[in-house]
Structure 1
Amino acid sequence: MIKVDARGVSCPQPVLMTKKALEENKDGIVVLVDNTTACNNVQRFMKNAGYNVSVKEDEEEFIIEAKK
């Protein structure tokens, strides 16, 4: 599974990185972000794209996993 490291990147870049990764791997990806806004935006994008999304918070980062 592809892992996208979008920590330290401001919106809308994490969403654009997620979109590109999903185009390359349609089965699913994992995205790492370090702020709530990016987490919410990436999660919303993934759900709108038809993925099942789970979010885990690990100290100061969010691990967002999308699966078909």
Structure 2
Amino acid sequence: MAATVDARGFSCPQPVLMTLQAIKATNPSELVVLVDTDTSKENVVRAAQSQGYAVKEVSEEGEGYRICIERR
């Protein structure tokens, strides 16, 4: 099961920092990040890619987004 970062309710750069912290702490093969703004979605995707992760899926979930990333 993928690790999950729930960054809903936080404004940037907090979702990016939370995502990077989870990547550095556990180096997961797959990570799900929940965000609630377009800006957070775009910034988390860029940050994940900069750490060697590929975006597997971005889907709308409720009033936000579910971003699934995986290590390349």
TM-score (norm 2): 0.86
Percent of aligned pairs with the same amino acid: 46
Structure 1 outlier segments of 4+, above 3 Å: none
Q: 1: CA distance between counterparts of 2:67 and 2:36?
A: 11
* Unaligned ranges ≥5, structure 1: none
What is the root-mean-square deviation of aligned Cα atoms in Å?
1.0
* Unaligned ranges ≥5, structure 2: none
Q: 2: CA distance between counterparts of 1:42 and 1:49?
A: 11
Q: Does 1:59 align with 2:62?
A: yes
TM-score (norm 1): 0.91
Q: How does 1:1-68 map to 2 (within 5 A)?
A: 1-26=2-27, 27-53=29-55, 54-68=57-71
Cα offset, 1:57, TM superposition: 1.1
Q: How many residues align?
A: 68
